[in-house]
Amino acid sequence: MTAQLEYPDVQDADALLSVQGLWKVFGPKAQRVPRRPDLAALDRADLLAQTGCTAAVRDLSFEVAPGEVFVVMGLSGSGKSTLVRCLTRLIEPTAGSLLFEGEDLRAADEKRLRALRRSKFSMVFQHFGLLPHRKVIDNVSYGLEIRGESKPDRRRRAQEVIDLVGLAGNENLYPEQLSGGMQQRVGLARALANDPDVLLFDEPFSALDPLIRREMQTEVVRLHREVGKTMVFITHDLSEALKLGDRILLMRDGAAVQLGTGDELVGAPADDYVREFVREVPRADVLTLRWIVRDPRPGEPLDGPELDADVLVRDATRPVLEASRPVKVVDGGTLLGVIGDEEILAVVAPPNHQPA
């Protein structure tokens, strides 16, 4: 949610979730695919033709830091849902390692996994998965009931999270009496009720109208600020990814194409695929001055106004265009360089820009 590099290199010991060399292969004798370099190297079509297998997740490695919003983005079929289900072993990975708070999840038995899923993880799905014959409050407290908490405790906690997600007053309604956006708020409240360490979202807002969808995104940003939970958020929507993600993992055909902050994906795309993916992004809303700062030219006046390197180009546009001198870009007191009208205009109105 910020443009700063807060998690440049998550160290193993600090990671909440650590994924190394993760594979999920569907199909006959799936195990051999990650083991055999000749098969592992095949693209999707050839792998299917030669083995009858689909590698939904291919050799993924990443770490999620405590408190981070980690977004996994990719087109439909790129393996996002498979990945997020592998993280709690709702889908059994084919190869690789999975550590949660240092614990080897792949070694966990069923009993331990159930306990972890109940207390440490919560999922929010696209289709809200609410129980139709239970009122809002009973949907929200369902997980607590499973955990064996007393009725007064359940009620108290359910009411707390219902208030938190803005559903107060709707406790006694049934899901069908609610709009899609409100139903997903119930989904959010239910996920939060367990007080999990990690919230896993699988395209939770894809079925909602654009306006409601933006409202729900803002809601997640607010909730994250308030409760500070670690989130793994799956989406196929780039603007959603940019709005929510501290870091974004872009997947294609099961593999990682790029992992970075939003401004890194936009400012320094790893390849043509990423470049194409981010082409339509309003760059001024994502890039900071750090990306466009240049060295002062000989003789250029250095007595202009100062802006921080992390200011978005969008927010710098007016001050820079209004200044009669180049604007100095500083980072923690250090002068990085300057920017003038040209640097701003190159982002806001690039010369090769095709009007829509």
Ligand X SMILES: Nc1ncnc2c1ncn2[C@@H]1O[C@H](COP(=O)(O)OP(=O)(O)O)[C@@H](O)[C@H]1O
CA nearest to 53, candidates 75, 29, 76: 29
Side by side, which strands form the sheet with 230-235?
121-125, 198-202, 230-235, 69-73, 247-252, 255-260
Residue 15: alpha-carbon gap to chain centroid: 16
Residue 302, Cβ neighbours under 10 Å: how many?
10
When the beta carbons of 10 and 251 are compared against ligand X, the nearer one is 251
In the chain, the amino acid numbered 298 is: P
When the beta carbons of 52 and 350 are compared against ligand X, the nearer one is 52
**One symbol per residue from 60 to 99: x for binding Mg ion (CB under 5 A), - otherwise; what is it?**
---------------------x------------------
We find the least distance from the C-beta atom of residue 279 to ligand X, in angstroms, to be 21
Using DSSP, state whether 157 is helix, strand or coil. helix
We find the least distance from the C-beta atom of residue 34 to ligand X, in angstroms, to be 15
Determine the Cα–Cα distance for residues 230 and 205; give it in Å rounded to an integer: 18
When the beta carbons of 81 and 184 are compared against Mg ion, the nearer one is 81
Per partner kind, with CB cut-offs from 5 to 8 A, the member of ligand X, Mg ion, none near residue 95 is none
When the beta carbons of 249 and 347 are compared against ligand X, the nearer one is 249
Query: Do residues 344 and 317 touch, judged by C-beta distance below 8 A?
Result: yes
Q: 81-140: which residues touch ligand X (CB under 6 A)?
A: 81-82
**One symbol per residue from 256 to 295: x for binding ligand X (CB under 6 A), - otherwise; what is it?**
----------------------------------------
Q: Give me the DSSP letters along 8-42.
A: TT--GGG-SEEEEEEEEEESTTTTHHHH-HHHHT-
Percent helix, strand and coil across the chain, each to the nearest 5: 40, 20, 40
Per partner kind, with CB cut-offs from 5 to 8 A, the member of Mg ion, ligand X, none near residue 54 is ligand X
* Cα-based distances in Å from 125 to 36, 83, 129, 232: 34, 14, 7, 12
143 counts as binding ligand X under rule CB under 6 A: no
We find the least distance from the C-beta atom of residue 204 to Mg ion, in angstroms, to be 11
Q: Which residue is nearest to Mg ion (CB)?
A: 81
When the beta carbons of 125 and 142 are compared against Mg ion, the nearer one is 125
When the beta carbons of 119 and 239 are compared against ligand X, the nearer one is 239
When the beta carbons of 54 and 184 are compared against ligand X, the nearer one is 54
We find the least distance from the C-beta atom of residue 27 to ligand X, in angstroms, to be 7
Q: What is the DSSP letter of 81?
A: H
Per partner kind, with CB cut-offs from 5 to 8 A, the member of ligand X, Mg ion, none near residue 139 is none
- Cβ-based neighbours of 128, under 8 Å, separated by 6 or more: 175, 183, 184, 186, 187
Q: 32-91: which residues touch ligand X (CB under 6 A)?
A: 54, 56, 74, 76-82
Residues making contact with ligand X (CB under 6 A): 26, 54, 56, 74, 76-82
Residues making contact with Mg ion (CB under 5 A): 81
